[in-house]
Amino acid sequence: MEQQKKVRMDVVVAGEPLVEFSADRPLTEAETFRLSFSGDALNVAVAAAAAGARTALVSRLGDDEFGERLIRFAAGHGVDTRWLTPGPGPTGAYVVGADPSGERAFAYLRQGSAASRLTAADLLDSPAALARVLVLSGITAALSATCDQAVRSAAEQATGQVVYDANFRARLTAPEAAAATLRAVAPHTAVVKLSVPADSLALVGTADPVETARRVRDLGAPAVAVTMGADGVLLAEGGHLHEIPAVPAPLVVDQTGAGDNFTGAMAAWLARGASLPEAVRAGTAAASLSLAGRGGTGRVAAAAEIVDLLGDPVSGG
């Protein structure tokens, strides 16, 4: 393990991959479900790998058949799975259904999951500290006290760029606890990503994108990417505000995981040396392309597709 954790990865993602059961009917009526795999950490890792980054996912999985299948799925999408450790607790899952208007409803089956037992030692025994880009999430921190400590510790010890996706989920944690984690992690990041209004109202008490960026910058984050759905991204970096428009989607099937695909592509671009505005633009293109697939990993964008959709070269070495 000592030799493995010294491996230099482009992107390392820490969090909980999930088994996904999806239906095209409301959950109150659905009888047939499609099995796949998702969860914010897995979505980000798959997106980063598809965009050309050497990517590892760090988590714990249940020592069960679903855990085995999840490892095969991640590996099949180019993700290094050496730090997906089987152990006590089940592999987490969620069920998603759609009503006739296309709205998605989620039910999570993750209480006491193996990934909720993730610890700071698990991150220390991985290449997280040496990654060019380390992606951490508010969802991961909300899974348990040990997960929260793992996120905080990993951010502090990272030698590369840390991307923190606030990803507030009211079903997992209270606003006060999520805000406390954000305050602890922000000074150690290269960029904090959060959405308005879902994340911003809960964590910094405003739905205004400019004010959101200012308040998160005041917490010590050097840069903030405020995602605004169809209105694009407001990027606050240094003393500058960049308004980066959303990229029109060629096809819209399902919005699940679009934000994770944004984060994964952004991390991949940062790992290859792109500027933050360039990386955010790449993220918007990846998010747009992801809308053509069902589930968080149903459609992921390769680097060449991202460049083609943007219509001009995105530099980064």
CB atoms under 10 Å from CB of 102, counted, come to: 11
Alpha carbons 102 and 107: distance in angstroms, whole number: 16
Please report the beta strands in 89-229, taking only residues with DSSP state E, as ranges in sequence order: 93-98, 104-109, 133-137, 161-165, 191-195, 223-227
- Give the pLDDT of residue 102: 56
DSSP code of residue 187 = G
- Give the pLDDT of residue 316: 38
Alpha carbons 80 and 83: distance in angstroms, whole number: 8
- Give the pLDDT of residue 269: 98
- Give the pLDDT of residue 187: 98
Q: What backbone torsions phi and psi does residue 187 show, to the nearest 5 degrees?
A: -65, -15
Q: What backbone torsions phi and psi does residue 114 show, to the nearest 5 degrees?
A: -60, -40
**Which pTM value belongs to this model?**
0.93
- Give the pLDDT of residue 257: 82
3-state secondary structure of 224: strand
- Give the pLDDT of residue 56: 98
Bridge-partner residues for 191, per DSSP?
163
Please report which helix (H) or strand (E) contains residue 233, including its range.
strand 233-237
Alpha carbons 4 and 276: distance in angstroms, whole number: 29
- Give the pLDDT of residue 181: 98
- Give the pLDDT of residue 238: 87
- Give the pLDDT of residue 77: 97
- Give the pLDDT of residue 5: 55
Q: Which two tokens stand for residue 226?
A: 């405020």
Q: How many residues does the chain have?
A: 317
Give the C-alpha distances (Å, rounded to integers) separating 167 from 17, 88, 211.
15, 26, 18
- Give the pLDDT of residue 10: 98
Who's near 278: CB < 8 A, 6+ residues apart?
269, 314, 315, 316
- Give the pLDDT of residue 101: 60
- Give the pLDDT of residue 312: 60
Task: Per-residue pLDDT tens, the chain, 317 aa: give them.
Answer: 555 556 889 999 999 999 999 888 899 999 999 999 999 999 999 999 999 999 999 999 999 999 999 999 999 999 999 999 998 999 999 998 876 665 678 888 898 999 999 999 999 999 999 999 999 999 999 999 999 999 999 999 999 999 999 999 998 999 999 999 999 999 999 999 999 999 999 999 999 999 999 999 999 999 999 999 989 999 999 889 999 999 988 888 877 789 999 999 999 999 999 999 999 999 999 999 998 887 778 899 999 999 999 986 444 33
